[in-house]
Chains A and B, each alone.
Chain A
Amino acid sequence: MSPAPEHPRRRLVQEAIARVEGEGAMHVTLRDGRVEDVRLRIYEPPRFFEAFLRGRRFTEVPDITARICGICPVAYQMSSVAAMEDACGATVTPEIRALRRLFYCGEWIESHALHIFLLHAPDFLGLDNAFELAAEHRDVLEGALALKKAGNTLMRIIGGREIHPVNVRVGGFHRAPTRAELAEAERALEAVLAFARSAPAFVASLPTPEIELDPTFVALAEPDRYAIEGGRLRSSDGLDLGPHAFRDAFVEEQVAHSTALHSRLRDGGTYLVGPLARYALNHAQLSAGAREAAAAAGLGPVCRNPYRSIVVRAVEVLHAVEEALALLAGYVPPDPPAVDVVPRAAVGAGWTEAPRGLLWHRYAIDGDGTITAAEIVPPTSQNQRRIEEDLRACVERFADLPDDELRRRCEHAIRNHDPCISCATHFLTLEVDRR
């Protein structure tokens, strides 16, 4: 046990949080050993996507919004086209929907593999980075790189390139890959299947703090599949909504210390989106292999320990690999690769499950297809309050540790949620002083 602090007030500041996507900082204030204030300060500049979408053509949303994130561009593309097709009253064919799901599986695999093994796993062993992890667990890192590459391969073949894909359009795809073109991805996925099956047990073996929290879980749900590219919103408190009702149940607020908006339930409570929420609400729809791996890794039907989110991500990766292989086995190239989408004056809303959680888009367009309003609510801004609550719990539990160790624990608590800070920043207060 560390000696009692010499000063009644301790301030813990981490000006740049490493191994997260984007730029953020953390401020914690303790007084007499009690937590006085906890802030996840997101200082990455706001990005104004919603503003500069206005005046653009309705067909431009997948290419513009893909630029919001280099790690999860498919999520932005899929939510944006879902919202725009809703506005225009278009319905895609089952073949197009299957190709979208396959594409999305590629992003889940590469994004989760990166986070689990290269960014998050070192935390559990007290290591500073993945190189040190590689020295101890070489086979795991080799497997992780192959797994990530298999996901990237799927994204490249379907999307035209790995980062910021260019093949998505409102109504479908510009071009459907042939079965022969997808064979490379199928071989890559088959080659990593054994590693993907072993990964949940490996990450479950990492030393994990036993903390049980009780968040309200929010995720999309579908009757016949683990929801990724669509569905209805469900919550552990009984919400059941379509995408037009999002604003009825959730509100966003600006806070002074962050360029990202904070979301909360309209009745005031915080909520959690992402792997823990999806697993709690939808685990019955996971692939057979993923359900088996989850049980073997010790996950019950609900996981309330944010430190075990890494296990749920590994289960989801296995699901995505198995799902992708099943989709590839039944792949029929959509012909034509896109349905016609005719603009009309309307408001459309759509959502999908980004690797980090629910991503909601809403657009208003006029009769000739010009965007007049855009709203995007990414998962990290929805989770930001929840992350701060986790930080508070972490600081209360580990307040006796020296600053460096407490800081490390806090960074770990933040990385439990794989925050994508670049996605979340889109707001800036403009104060005008008129005299």
Chain B
Amino acid sequence: MDEARRAPLSAWLPDGTGIVGMSLMSGGAIQQNWKLDVRVGGEPQGWVLRTDSTATLSHSRPRAEEFALLQAARRSGVAVPEPLMLCSDLSVIGTVFFIMRRVEGVAAAHRIVRSETLGGGRAALTASFGRELAKIHAIRPTQAGLGFLKKHPDMAPGLRFVGEMRAHLDAAGTPQPILEWGLRHLERHAAASAEIVLCHNDFRTGNIMVDDAGVTGVLDWEFAGWGDPHEDLGWLCAKCWRFGSPHEAGGVGPRATLYAAYERASGLQVDDDAVRYWEIAATIRWAVIALSQAARHISGTEPSLELALTGHIVPELERDIMRATS
């Protein structure tokens, strides 16, 4: 998508809607987010247009499914940007896209973990994280409109995770003894799940927009799927997502505050051992992603200093895995 698509996009929008301004907010290897300033019947509104970049990650959700997830989350009361319209007609801008209302706030993880005031302060923001997760987890497999999410009948979520990660590692073709050691630990300690819920699967500081009062928008839904509630709690609490902060819940606040707010809002009991199990899983998953990013540099398909440096994150993750499993 580029400036040249402005005219066909304008033509596609509902009558009485005009584009006043348009600029690329963030363009990753996977998605692009365009900032749209529009007038709807004369009233100024701020929108975001989200679409695919050319290269797409194999396990990333297509835009239409992400749009359906945003709708389901909004119905469940999660703070998400309001999904407005979806366009699957490739003749408009060349890729599938959707438009959502722009939410204001800060998402930058390094700013959030250092701030004592954002989101109403550390304790208040940590509790908000717990409440948002509870609202996400209130979405269950019986929910209409999410039939595209893969179901995993009768399989412990930990075993499903181990199988997925081994498949990624096998496809990458470079044996990783430490990650395999961690996966074997998870395989031996996998437990059946009492509840299967919608997991966001990337709920962490950096993907959560906040302002001075609290959470304004939970972003980046492309990895969502059915799973154990502790998967999201573990991802949020994992050391690799604390951004150097000593605070265990997302680098923002105390773990106990997160658990208490989550339990109150969800009616579910948090099992601390299960959260820590999923923290090991989180560390492994991030290492697998980092290795795949580094591989794009190593293979020569996308020479990039940033991707090369991402590969050097892996040893610290491996050290964390060995500490947690031996």
Chain B binds chain A: no
Q: Which residues of B contact A (CB under 8 A)?
A: none
Q: Which residues of A contact B (CB under 8 A)?
A: none
